[in-house]
Every structure is written in structure tokens, then in C-alpha cells.
Structure 1
Amino acid sequence: MTSMPPDAERLPVRLSARRVLYVLVGVVATTVSVGLVLWLWLRGDNLIGKDLSAAQLDLAHIAASVAVAGGGAFALYLAVLRQQTADRTLAHNEDVAKKTQQHQERVAAATEADAKRRAVTEQYTKAVEQLGSEKAPVRLGALYALERLARDNEELRQTVVNVACAYLRMPFTIPTEDSAMGRDEILRNARPQFDIRKGKLHPSRMTPRRNPDREWRSFEEREVRLTAQRLIQDHTRTSGPDYWGPVDLNLSRAVLINFELIYAKIGDLNLTKATFYRQAHFYGSTFASLDASGAQFGDRLWFHENTVKGAFSILDAHCHEAVSFGHSTFNSFAAFIGSTHSELCSIYNCTFKMQANFDGMLFQKDASFHDTTFNSWAVFSKMGALARTSFQGTKFHDESKFDDAVFVGQVDFSGAAFATTPEFTGTRFGAGHNLEA
């Protein structure tokens, strides 16, 4: 059976001459048939005289009535057919008009979307070009323009974050503190001072040769970079009004100043070989993974109440000031291998759900792992602790290894719980250690 197209019933009916002729022939044939039947009936009754005349007259009236009725039926058929044709033609025209309007609306929407995409692309390209300007105000304006584009266009957010991260990865030298002064003040301070009493330049008041323009440009660049950091920090904070989702951050080799991620939700965070000036603060945040291998922390590192779902690495990093990892959870492998801590390092009340490796770490001042929980094996082999080390209340639910570690200062395991006997092969202890759990 041949299937009909879905819109076939809406197509207008053709009022063709052949179709009308067929109906007309049908009406005539019906009329003739009725007349013939009546005529045969009349002959069969053997009527004569007046009865025959009356019957013939009645037959003529009946035949005429049938003819009129047939003509009326034919006329009615033509009228109904014309009405149906008009209705279907109207419905078809309305359907065509509706589809035409929908097509025009789709074309208009596509044209508008295309125009918007072109405008967004042009604005994005212009802003990226302005980031390369020599003038700091132009670079600042470019960052604000990119931020506005990302706020209005969700698909651009990761791209804009990538641009901000790339900018922070560019080489940068931190300016001296007095670069916060104006250029003219820097220039005045750079000149040697004249001693009125002696009538000559006073050697003790001579200042070293400086480049005021370069120092001022360095200060301006610092402000631009702080704006780029602020863009990242504001839009990764889940508690803020403009959260952009768990974007990835590639800040490898970046130069960061007072960097912080507070209540942030981040994808993969790459901080390998990054340099942190002033403190670095991570609080209440969630990371898909975090790699800070080779990073340099010039000031305090605070890492509190965070969750790292994937791998955590801080291999061969150098922390010049105090470090504090507190109340944080590491769901996957965590590696602190080879990192150096010049000041106090405290890893307390943390939970390591998988392997934790502290192999080769160096603690030049006090180190503490108190009340931390290790659900899988923990390795402290070849670790060097030059001052006091505390494992008070630490819980080891799997193997723990301290092979070839060196504890110069006091070591305290009081209150620690071990699921298996810890390994101390080749471990060296100084005076005042307490290995009783």
C-alpha cells in the first residue's frame, strides 16, 4: 500500500473537467434509468384512453422531477466541491504562509546568531591584541573586556581563563617596594643629593644607578597581573555571584602575588614550577587534581579544608616560610617527594585515602603530622628532619615506612596508632625521641 505524505490531506483539490463530466454523466444516467423504469412499468399495465394519458402525464412529471432533482444534486455537488476546494486551498495557503514565516524566523535567528558570533569574535580578538600593548591601562582594559565577554558568553569562559593564565605565565620581575611611588618621585630619589654645608655631593647620600621608567613599568605590570589573578579568583569561587564552573587552570611557571583560591571549585590545577610571592592561600576548595611540583613559595603556604579528588603532587618544591596543611582530604595518590621546608611545616588533621609518599622531604625546622589519618600505605623513607617531628595521634591503617630517614631532633609518636609494625630499617634518630605509640 502506497503511503501518503503527511501534508497530502492539506493539498487543494483540483476541480477538473473530467471529474465534473463523470458526475454529470452519472446524474444523466440515473435520470434516464428512472425514466426508462417508469416507462416500462407504464407499458406493462396495458392502460388505454384517459388512464393512459393521465399515466403518461404523471410519468412526465416524475421524469421532470427526477431531472430537476438530479440537476440540483449536481449543482449541490459542484457547490460542495468548490467549498472544499476553497477551504483546502485556504488551509494550504495558511500552512505555506506559516512555514514561510517559520523559515524566515529561523533565517533571521541564524543571521542574528552569526552576527553575534562575529561581533564576539572581533571583540575577543581585539582584546587579546590589546593584552600585548606596551601601555598598562590598555592591558587592564583588555582584561576587563575579556571578563565581560566571558560573563555574557558561557562557551568563552574556559578560553578567557586560559588567556589570563597564559598572561600570568609570561616572564615577570617583581618590582621593589618603592616602585609604588610615582615615576617622578622615583626619579628624584634616584639622583644624588647635594650637601649645602660642604658644597659637594655627599657620598653617603649617593643612591645606586636606577632606571625609574623600568621600575615604574614593573609596578604597572604588577597591577595588571593582580587584575588577571582577581579574574581567576572571582570566577572560580562557588560562593560568588559569577561562578564560571570548574575550569582548568594552567599556571605552570607563572609568577603569582598573594595568590588565593577561596571556596573555589577547580578542574585540573597546574602550578608546576610556579613562583609565589607573598602568601599563597587555598581554603575550602575542591580540585580535580593539583600539581605544584618544582614550585617556589616565597612566603606562607596555607592549605586548609580542601579536597583533592585526583592526584596531588608537590615534588621538589621549596617552601621558604611556614607551611600549613590542615583538615584537608586527599582522595587519590599524594606525593610530597623531595620538597624542602625552611620553616615550620604542619600537616595536621588531614586524611589521605590512598598512598601518601613523603620520600626525601627535608624539614629544616619543626614538622608535624599530628592527628592525620593514612588509610593506605605511607612512606617517609629518606626523610630528613633537623628539628622536632611530631606524629602525635596519627593513624596508620596500612603499612608505614621510615627506612633510611634521619631525625636529628626529637621525634614523638605518642598516641599514634599503627595497623602493622612500622619499618625503621636504616633509620637514624637523635636524642629525645619517643617511639612509643
Structure 2
Amino acid sequence: MWKVGRALTSAFVAAVLVAGGIFYGLVVLLGFRGIDDTAKLDAKTLFDLVKLSFGVVAGAGALVALVVAYRRQRVDEAGAHREATRLHTERFSQAVDKLGSDSPAVRLGGVHALAGLADDAPDDSLRQTCIDVLCAYLQLPFTPDPGDDPAHQEERHRYLAFRKVRHTILRIIGDHYRRPQAARRSWQGYDLDLTGVTIDGGMNFSGAVFSGGTVNFSGAMFSDGAVNFSGATFTGSTVNFHDAKFCGSTVRFGGAMFSNGEVCFTGALFSGGTVRFGVASFSGGTVSFERAVFSGGAVDFGSSVFSDGTVDFSGATFAGGTVYFHVATFSGGTVTFGRAQFSGGAVDFSGAAFSGGALTFRRAVFSGGAVDFGGATFSDGEVCFTAALFSGGTVAFGSSAFSGGTVVFREAWGSVPRGLLAAVGSPVPATVALASAWLPPSP
């Protein structure tokens, strides 16, 4: 806050300027042409001047009182904020101490205490600190499941108890991201750092809204349970699954490492922001964007490795934004765009290597946007466009190399994809099945 002298001076100057502006505006509005002057000061005029003087003095006093009251209010608010911060810090220390307890029940109490502190935090930075501590707890190493061996029964009970603590944190995080951003206890717009976290149970982000901040699952391992993003909305945040691993779960629009579980983005809406799966490894399970809507933003699978499992975009709508598979490697598994609608945006497979598995666009509709296979290599596996409709937009195979595998365009409708016939060559290899209308004329 300014010093009193500076605040009063500024207030007086502002008051004079405002009063002068109002006076000048009234003069112009009322159309005064001049003021009569007289050499004689009568009693009425003198009395009016005395009243005006008292009015000016009273106004100045009121202005001083207003400035002093404002400063007192600011001081009181600052004091209340310091007291709230002090109490928050004390409660925060107690909650963190509970998280370090050897008792699972005490740790569970610490989790709920930290979540409550985040909800009641006096400012955004303190709330973010509480969220960061909960995320950091999930990042801590823990003793793996000792199994069902009766000789390790006590260790297994302890493992299950501490696992419950981690699952409670995941549930609390999901609950807070579903709350409307205007709600006092919503965590929307805050950063969520789950880098390298092992998620061995359910995590529910269904209906969550990511409208700001950064959600980071880089290097995460999903080994059991279901991670559900169905109906989630991505309108301005960055969600990062970079270098994540999928090893055997069902992942519906997921990323990271999944060995047994489910991550679901069914029906999700992407109208802005970025979701990154770059350098992710898919060695099992299913990643599903089924019926998702892409009207903006970007989903990045660049340089990812697909050796097993399924990435499912069935029934998805691409009206904007970009989905990247640039330089991805497909050595197994399935990526499906069956019945997808491409009316805008782009899907980029440039430089991808298809050495196994299957990529299918069965009954997809291309009425706009772009799908780019430029520089892709087809040496094994299957790429299927059976019964697809090419009525607009661009599907390009420029500089693609067909050295093996199967590429099928049977019953496809519409214009031949750009660069396809040149990439396939003549005569058409037995591994490439073109629509009858696209076949070059017989010699």
C-alpha cells in the first residue's frame, strides 16, 4: 500500500480532476456562453461563497476519512489473510506429518486433511501446494504386492492397506475435477503432476473438465483397474501421456503404461488444448477414443510404438484439431477408425512404419480435413479402407512405400486418394486391393 501522504495527494488530485470534468461537462451541456462580472459583492453572493467553502472543507474531510477507512480495510484484510495463512500452515504441517505415519489409517486421515486444506486454502498457490503434495505421495516408491503366499500374509495386508491410501487420493482427485470451475472446491485449472506414477487401481475422470493448467501422466504405469475419461472435456489445458506404457490393459483413449486396467475417453470432447502420448509404448490392451469429438486442439501419438493391443477411434468425429501418429511404429495390435467422420482437422501418419498389426478405416467417411500417409512404410500387417467414402477432404499417400503387407480399398467410394496409384505402382501388387473404379485400364 502507498504511504498516507501519497495516497491523500493522489486522492485529492483525482477528486479535483473529476469535479473539474463534471463541471466542464455541465457547462457544455447547458450551453453557458459566459459569466457576468460585477465589481460589487452582495450579501447573498458572500453567503454562497461561505457555504461553498464549508462544502469544500467537508468534502476534503470526507475524502480523507474515505482514504483512511480504505487503508484500514486493506490492513484488516491483510491481517486476516496472514492469520488464515498461519492457520493453514499449521494444519498443513499436521496433515503432512500424518502422511508419514506408519499407520495406514493415520495416512488416510492425512489424505482427507490435505484435500480439505486444498478446498479451504486462502489463495491459489496454497491450494496448488496441497495438490502437489498429494501427487508427490503417489509418486513415492512402494513395496510391491508380495502375493498370496501365506508366509507373507502380514506383508500383503500391509500392502493392501497402503494401496487403499493411494486409491483414495486418486478418487479425491477425480471428484474435484468433476466439480464446476465456479464451485469453491473445484480443482479445475490447477496443475496435476502424476509423472511416473503407478496406478494399480481405478481412477475416475468421467465428466471431468480440463480447461486450464497441465495434467501430466508422463512415464505413468497403469497396471490394474480402470482409468476413465469418458465424457471428459478438454478445452484449454495440456494433458501429457508422454513416454507412457500400455502393457495389457483396456485403454479407451489413454496413454502411458497399462498392463491390466482400463482408461476410457469414450465420448470425450476435445475443443482445445493438447493431449500428448508421444513416445508412448502400447504392448497390450485397448486405447479407445470411441465416439470422441475432436473440434480443436491436438492429440499426439508421435513416435509411439504399437506392438499389441488396440487404439480405438470408432465412431469418432474429426471436425477440427489434429491427431498425430507421425513416425509412429506399428508392429502389432490394431488402430481402428471404423465409421469415423472426417469433416475437418487432420490425422497425420507421415513417416509411420507399418510392419505388423492392422490399421482400419472401415466405413469411415472422408468429407473434409486431411489424412496424411506421406512417407509411410508398409512392409507387413494390414491397412483397411473397405467401404470407406471419399467425398471431400484429402487422403494422401505421397512418397509411401508398399513392400509387403496388405492394403485394402475394396468397395471404397469416391475419388482415389491422392498419390495412392503412384505409390502402389503398376502393375498393382497382389497385396494391394483397390476399388474397381480406381483400377488402371487394362492394356
Q: TM-score, normalised by structure 1?
A: 0.64
Matched, 1:278 2:219: no
Q: Pick from 264, 287, 291: which aligns with 1:323?
A: 287
Structure 2 matches for 1:363-382, cutoff 5 A? 364-370=332-338, 371-373=340-342, 375-376=345-346, 378-379=348-349, 381-382=352-353
CA distance in 2, matches of 1:385, 1:413: 18
Give a deviation string over 1:152-177, Cα, whole Å, max 9, x none. Answer: 22523222211111111112355367
CA distance in 1, matches of 2:384, 2:61: 92
Show the counterpart of 2:190: 247
> Which residue identity lines up with residue 379 of structure 1 in the other structure?
F
SS of residue matched to 2:215 = strand
CA distance in 1, matches of 2:372, 2:359: 23
Q: Pick from 121, 124, 140: which aligns with 2:92?
A: 124
Show the counterpart of 2:258: 297
Q: Pick from 413, 422, 427: which aligns with 2:397?
A: 422
SS of residue matched to 1:331 = strand
How far has the Cα of 1:346 moved from its partner? 1.5
Give a deviation string over 1:100-139, Cα, whole Å, max 9, x none. Answer: 8887766555444322221111111221222122211111
Give a deviation string over 1:27-59, Cα, whole Å, max 9, x none. Answer: xxxxxxxxxxxxxxxxxxxxxxxxxxxxxxxxx
Q: Pick from 256, 260, 270: which aligns with 1:307?
A: 270
> Which residue identity lines up with residue 293 of structure 2 in the other structure?
S
Give a deviation string over 1:243-265, Cα, whole Å, max 9, x none. Answer: 23321111110011212212212
Show the counterpart of 2:116: 148
Contact 1:251 1:274 in 2 (8 A): yes
How far has the Cα of 1:236 moved from its partner? 0.8
CA distance in 2, matches of 1:433, 1:220: 56
Show the counterpart of 1:165: 135
Contact 1:325 1:347 in 2 (8 A): yes
Structure 2 matches for 1:353-392, cutoff 5 A? 353-354=321-322, 356-362=324-330, 364-370=332-338, 371-373=340-342, 375-376=345-346, 378-379=348-349, 381-387=352-358, 389-392=360-363
Say which is worse superposed, 159-168 or 311-320, in terms of deviation.
311-320
SS of residue matched to 1:244 = coil
**Is the alpha carbon distance of 1:119 and 1:259 closer, same or farther for their aligned partners in structure 2, counting shifts above 3 Å?**
same
* Cα-Cα RMSD: 4.0
How far has the Cα of 1:219 moved from its partner? 0.8
Show the counterpart of 1:405: 378
How far has the Cα of 1:294 moved from its partner? 2.3
**Is the alpha carbon distance of 1:136 and 1:368 closer, same or farther for their aligned partners in structure 2, counting shifts above 3 Å?**
same
Q: Pick from 154, 160, 164: which aligns with 1:219?
A: 160
Contact 1:175 1:215 in 2 (8 A): yes
SS of residue matched to 1:354 = strand
Task: Give structure 2 stretches of 5+ with no counterpart.
Answer: 1-7, 13-56, 245-256, 407-429, 439-443
Contact 2:146 2:155 in 1 (8 A): no
CA distance in 2, matches of 1:333, 1:387: 20
Say which is worse superposed, 310-319 or 90-99, in terms of deviation.
90-99
Contact 2:177 2:209 in 1 (8 A): yes
CA distance in 2, matches of 1:402, 1:144: 53
Q: TM-score, normalised by structure 2?
A: 0.63
CA distance in 2, matches of 1:137, 1:420: 57
**Is the alpha carbon distance of 1:422 and 1:126 closer, same or farther for their aligned partners in structure 2, counting shifts above 3 Å?**
same
**Is the alpha carbon distance of 1:307 and 1:99 closer, same or farther for their aligned partners in structure 2, counting shifts above 3 Å?**
closer
CA distance in 2, matches of 1:96, 1:272: 57
SS of residue matched to 1:321 = strand
> Which residue identity lines up with residue 401 of structure 1 in the other structure?
G
**Is the alpha carbon distance of 1:383 and 1:249 closer, same or farther for their aligned partners in structure 2, counting shifts above 3 Å?**
farther
Show the counterpart of 2:411: none
Contact 2:275 2:300 in 1 (8 A): yes
**Is the alpha carbon distance of 1:363 and 1:265 closer, same or farther for their aligned partners in structure 2, counting shifts above 3 Å?**
farther
What's the % identity of the aligned pairs? 22
How far has the Cα of 1:214 moved from its partner? 2.3
CA distance in 2, matches of 1:99, 1:420: 68
CA distance in 2, matches of 1:90, 1:390: 81
CA distance in 2, matches of 1:328, 1:90: 65
SS of residue matched to 2:101 = coil
Corresponding residue pairs, total: 332
Bigger fraction of residues in helix: 1
Matched, 1:230 2:179: no
**Is the alpha carbon distance of 1:312 and 1:394 closer, same or farther for their aligned partners in structure 2, counting shifts above 3 Å?**
farther
Give a deviation string over 1:192-236, Cα, whole Å, max 9, x none. Answer: xxxxxxxxxxxxxxxxxx333322221111111011111211111
> Which residue identity lines up with residue 412 of structure 1 in the other structure?
F
Contact 1:290 1:308 in 2 (8 A): no
Give a deviation string over 1:297-352, Cα, whole Å, max 9, x none. Answer: 12233222232623332123225212211223252362342232522331231426
Structure 2 matches for 1:8-47, cutoff 5 A? none
Contact 1:120 1:149 in 2 (8 A): yes
> Which residue identity lines up with residue 106 of structure 2 in the other structure?
V
CA distance in 1, matches of 2:94, 2:345: 52
**Is the alpha carbon distance of 1:308 and 1:273 closer, same or farther for their aligned partners in structure 2, counting shifts above 3 Å?**
farther
> Which residue identity lines up with residue 197 of structure 2 in the other structure?
A
Task: Give structure 1 stretches of 5+ with no counterpart.
Answer: 8-88, 179-188, 191-209
Bigger fraction of residues in strand: 2
SS of residue matched to 1:120 = helix
CA distance in 1, matches of 2:239, 2:91: 33
> Which residue identity lines up with residue 405 of structure 1 in the other structure?
F
Contact 1:292 1:317 in 2 (8 A): no
SS of residue matched to 1:359 = coil
CA distance in 2, matches of 1:365, 1:160: 40
> Which residue identity lines up with residue 252 of structure 1 in the other structure?
T
